[in-house]
Chain A
Amino acid sequence: MNWLLVVAGGMLGAPLRYVTDRAVQLRHGSPFPWGTLVVNITGCLILGTLTGATLAGATSESVRLLLGTGLCGALTTYSTFSYETLRLAEKGRGRYAAAYVGASLAVGLGAAFLAAVVGEAAWG
């Protein structure tokens, strides 16, 4: 049952990332990977909220497996993030690479930290 929840969440999260990424990337003319940045930050917000709710004792293991391990795990990606970073750097766009890493870490972590606090307060 646990495996099914994870797979179901993953089968939802991955295509959601693909479609969002594509929709964002096809709408602007810059090589900056806005699409991946958007899905990674969104996933951090959702997982942070879930973590806060868990600290408040408001989640079941099923919800954590489906939404956390499955959905958020697959919605966000480290492989595409680091591939894009390296590719930007190799194409001579070192500033974009640095800005991409900086924005992903600062906003992603900020989103996770804040959402955990808000989630714990909301469900506490």
Chain B
Amino acid sequence: MTEVPQPGGRAGRVHPVEPIDPDVEVALPVPPDHRWRGQGAPVAMVALGGGLGSAARYGAGELWPTAPAAFPWTTLGVNVAGCAAIGVLMVLITEARTAHRLVRPFLGAGVLGGFTTFSTYAVDVQRLVVEEGRAAAGVGYLALTLVTAVAAVWAAQAVTRSAVRRSSSGGGAPRVAAGAAGGEGDA
């Protein structure tokens, strides 16, 4: 027999890292001079979305104000809602269909990143535990936010996937991108 070159051996380009971070969707490694090429429009969209998301979070706080000593239900609700929304968004734009390249920076990193907050969460825990002396409430808030936020992403992804599958079962199979590393050469 002749020597058969190993298919899939050394030839194909290997992605050493699967993208985990939804805001850095490029396959690594990226040459240094390519890192910031074409990033002007995404950064502007993130700023615009961040302004809107922050305003929505502030509005929620105005609608449902939290008293200084109270359990921070509003921030918890904002964070969990934002997590559900990113679950829906990521399934829609990475699995169901191909989105314009500015959709993800605007909605994901911008609106939802600006809407949800980790710093207020941490300072809320600090306020409950240190200033109010309510250690149990602080720890409860810490754990409840974490668990419901991750569960919200998971549930929103599952519901969106099944909705996409159902809506596309009539006409042809859904377009499923092969992971996030598929066709995202937008650098």
Residues in chain B within 8 A of chain A (CB atoms): 16-18, 20-24, 26, 28-30, 35, 39, 42-44, 46-55, 57-58, 61, 79, 82-83, 85-87, 90, 105, 108-110, 112-123, 125-127, 130-131, 142, 145-146, 149-150, 152-154, 157
Closest to B112 in A: A79
Instruction: Known contacts A10-B55, A18-B109, A82-B150; decide if A87 and B30 are in contact (CB<8 Å).
Output: no
Interface residues on A, range: 35 or more
Would B50 and A13 count as touching, CB distance under 8 A? Answer: yes
- On chain B, the residues within 8 Å of A65 by CB distance are 58
Would B130 and A116 count as touching, CB distance under 8 A? Answer: yes
- On chain B, the residues within 8 Å of A30 by CB distance are 17
Would B82 and A29 count as touching, CB distance under 8 A? Answer: no
Would B55 and A74 count as touching, CB distance under 8 A? Answer: no
- On chain B, the residues within 8 Å of A80 by CB distance are 21-23, 86, 108-109, 112-113, 116
Would B20 and A26 count as touching, CB distance under 8 A? Answer: no
- Binary CB contact string for chain A from 28 to 40 against chain B (1 if under 8 A, 0 otherwise): 0111110110001
Additional A-B contact list (6), CB under 8 Å, known A48-B126, A82-B86, A84-B20: A26-B24, A74-B117, A76-B119, A78-B116, A79-B116, A112-B125
